[in-house]
Amino acid sequence: MNKSIQTTLAFCLFLFSVQYTHAQKANYDEAKVPKFDIVDVLSTTDGQKVNTVEAWEKIRRPEILDIFRQQMYGTQPDTEVKVHYVVVKDIENAIPDLADIKEVDMIFSNANGRHSVRLTLFIPRKVSKPAPMFLGLNFYGNHTANPNENISIHSSWVRDNANFHIFGNRADEVSRGVRSSRWPVEYIVSQGYGLGLIYYGDIDPDFDDGFQNGLHPLFYKDGQTKPTSEEWGSIGIWSYGLSKALDYLGTDNDIDENKVIVFGHSRLGKTSLWAGVTDPRFAAAISNDSGCGGAALSKREFGERVAVINQNFPHWFNDNFIKYNNKESELPFDQHMLISLMAPRPVYIASAEQDEWADPKGEYLSGYYAKPAYDLYGIPSLNDVTPPKVNEARFTPGVSYHKRSGKHDVTRYDWVQYIEFADRFVR
C-alpha cells in the first residue's frame, strides 16, 4: 500500500474514533451542562411576538410543528393509502366481570401492497359506555401485556429476549403476559378506562433495514426505495399508526373518541408525544421516561445525546436531524416547544430517579418551559422551575409531572398517577 493511502486511512480512522468516543460519552454532571438560551415559544422565526390564541393557532403553532416535521420526526408523504377496519374478535366478559376483549385488523393498502396491524381493545364492563381509553404501543406484542388467552399473538418480527423466551425473532404462547407489570390491565379497566394496544413492530419493525418492511413502502412514489431526508422515520410512522387506530375508535360505540389518551414508554413515549402533537383529536398525552428526542431538553446535553441516538437508532428520526449530531447548540428548537404544541390539552411527563440516561431534570424543564403556550389559553401549568420531590406527583391542567424512585420502567406507581391525571383532566 502506498504511503499516502496509508496516511489517509490512518487519518480517517482517527477522525472516526474521535467522533465515536465523543458521541458515546454521556454527561451525568450538572456542572458540565452548557449555558444555553431557551428558544422563545411565543416568538416567530422572523421575530414577531405572539400573544393571542388566534395568532398561536394560525401562525406560531403551525410554524413550530413544521420545524419538528422538517428537522426531526419527518414529514408524512402525501401518497394515498386506504385503511379498512375489520373486527376479528369480540369476546364478552373475556376478563371475568372486568373487561371484554375486542380485536380489530387495521388493513392498509394501495397499489404498492397491503399491510395489516392488529389493535387489541380491553373494554371496561363496570362503566357506562362510551368509555374513555388509554391507547399505546408496546415493545413485544399485545399478548405480552396480559396472560389472557383470547389475545392474539402477532407474526411480525420481534426482538429476541431470553428472559421472555422470545427467540428467532418470533413471538409465541410462552411470552403471554410477560410484560403485565407494565400494563396493569385489570387495574386500568377497574377504574373505568379502556385500554387499546398495538404492537409497534406491526407498524414498523424496530431495526434499521432501510425502511423495506412495515408500512413505509406503501408510501413510496414510483421508483422511490426509501424515505427522503425530510420524510418520516419509525417514530413518525408509529405515531401515524396511533392516529389510524383513533380513526377506528371514532366508529366504536364502546369508546369515547373524545377521551382517548395516548400513552407511551421510552422510545414509545417519544412516539406518544409526537402522536399527541400531530393529532389534536387525542385528548391528552403521557410520556413515560421518554428522554432524548422525547420530553428531555436536547440543549442540556445531559444523558443521551443527539449524536448517540442518531448513531444507535438511525431509523427513528429523519436524516435532517443528523446535522445536529454534537451540535445541540445549533438546534433552532428544543423539546419544550414540542410540549407547547400540546396546549391547551393536558400532558403528563414522567421520569424515573435512576434513569439519568433520559435526563429527568431536562424532562421536567421542557414541561416547565412549555408554560407560555398554556398561559395564552389561561390554563394553569407547571410554574415552579424546581421539580417536585421524588414520588410526589405535581398535577396541573396543563403539564403534570412526577419522578418515581427506581429505574427506567413503567410501574404500578406510574399508572396510579396516570389514572388520577385522567380522572382530573380528561374524564
Residues in touch with ligand GCU (CB under 6 A): 266-267, 291-292, 304, 309, 357
The nearer residue to ligand GCU, 61 or 336, going by C-beta atoms, is 336
Grid cell, residue 251, equals 366508529
Report d(CA 158, CA 174) in Å as an integer: 14
How would you class 330 by CB atoms within 10 Å of its CB: exposed for 0-12, middle for 13-18, buried for 19 or more? exposed
Instruction: Give the shortest CB-265-to-ligand GCU separation in angstroms.
Output: 7
Report d(CA 115, CA 109) in Å as an integer: 6
- Residue 34 dihedral angles phi and psi, to the nearest 5°: -70, 160
Q: Which residues, in sequence order, are bridge partners of residue 195? A: 122, 134
Instruction: Give the shortest CB-269-to-ligand GCU separation in angstroms.
Output: 7
Report d(CA 213, CA 81) in Å as an integer: 16
Annotation marks residue 154 as catalytic: no
Closest by alpha carbon to 202, among 253, 259, 245, 249?
245
Catalytic member of 109, 116, 243, 408: 408
Is 288 in contact with 309 (CB distance < 8 Å)? no
Annotation marks residue 216 as catalytic: no
Catalytic member of 156, 239, 266, 272: 266
Report d(CA 24, CA 18) in Å as an integer: 10
Q: Which residues, in sequence order, are bridge partners of residue 137? A: 198
Is 84 in contact with 107 (CB distance < 8 Å)? yes
The nearer residue to ligand GCU, 153 or 309, going by C-beta atoms, is 309
Report d(CA 89, CA 343) in Å as an integer: 36
Report d(CA 211, CA 226) in Å as an integer: 6
Is 414 in contact with 393 (CB distance < 8 Å)? no
Instruction: Give the shortest CB-266-to-ligand GCU separation in angstroms.
Output: 3
Instruction: Give the shortest CB-292-to-ligand GCU separation in angstroms.
Output: 5
The nearer residue to ligand GCU, 219 or 357, going by C-beta atoms, is 357
Instruction: Give the shortest CB-76-to-ligand GCU separation in angstroms.
Output: 22
Instruction: Give the shortest CB-101-to-ligand GCU separation in angstroms.
Output: 27
The nearer residue to ligand GCU, 283 or 350, going by C-beta atoms, is 350
The nearer residue to ligand GCU, 292 or 393, going by C-beta atoms, is 292
Helix, strand, coil share (%) of the chain residues, nearest 5: 35, 20, 45
Report d(CA 382, CA 365) in Å as an integer: 9
Could you tell me whether strands 131-138 and 194-199 are parallel, antiparallel, or unpaired per DSSP bridges? parallel
The CA distances from residue 105 to 15, 131, 152, 402, 404, in Å, are 49, 21, 11, 35, 36
Is 196 in contact with 256 (CB distance < 8 Å)? no
The nearer residue to ligand GCU, 272 or 400, going by C-beta atoms, is 272
Number of helices (H), then strands (E), in the chain: 12, 9
The nearer residue to ligand GCU, 266 or 417, going by C-beta atoms, is 266
Radius of gyration of the chain (CA): 22
Known catalytic residues?
266, 408
